[in-house]
């Protein structure tokens, strides 16, 4: 017997600043912002560089490699929309570019 339909997972509200990031993600690319003035990389997307406040920012593709700094298993979803996804391995990664980001480990993680 089919279970009652689950609530929908929320999607990000894309804006002008982070639109390139989401378009890259849709194409399978991990994009980071790079300040043309000072060379600093940053994530998440912002209007200006957090280091020198320059608005002269470009997008670069990350290598997609890094090290897992820490992780946590989510076995009980706070949002019922993720009921069928658990257990989820939530990770904190230090990209080879030096950026720290959170993600979900996908693949054979169960
Ligand atoms: Zn800068």
Specify whether the CB–CB gap between 103 and 93 falls below 8 A: yes
* C-alpha 69 to ligand 1 mean position (Å): 26
State the pTM of this model.
0.84
For 101, phi then psi, to 5°, come to -145, 160
* C-alpha 41 to ligand 1 mean position (Å): 8
Alpha-carbon torsion (103, 87, 106, 17), positive or negative: negative
* Grouped pLDDT means (10 residues each) for the chain, 110 residues: 72 95 96 98 97 98 96 93 92 97 79
- State how far the Cα of 49 lies from the Cα of 91, in Å rounded to an integer: 25
* C-alpha 47 to ligand 1 mean position (Å): 11
């Amino acid at each position: 017997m089919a279970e009652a339909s689950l609530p929908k997972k929320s999607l990000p509200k894309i804006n002008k600043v982070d639109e390139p990031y989401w378009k890259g993600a849709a194409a399978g690319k991990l994009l980071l912002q790079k300040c043309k003035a000072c060379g600093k990389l940053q994530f998440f997307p912002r209007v200006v560089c957090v280091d020198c406040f320059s608005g002269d920012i470009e997008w670069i593709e990350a290598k997609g490699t890094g090290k897992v700094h820490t992780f946590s298993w989510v076995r009980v979803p706070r949002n019922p929309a993720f009921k069928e996804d658990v257990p989820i391995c939530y990770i904190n990664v230090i990209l080879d570019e030096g950026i720290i980001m959170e993600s979900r480990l996908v693949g054979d993680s169960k």
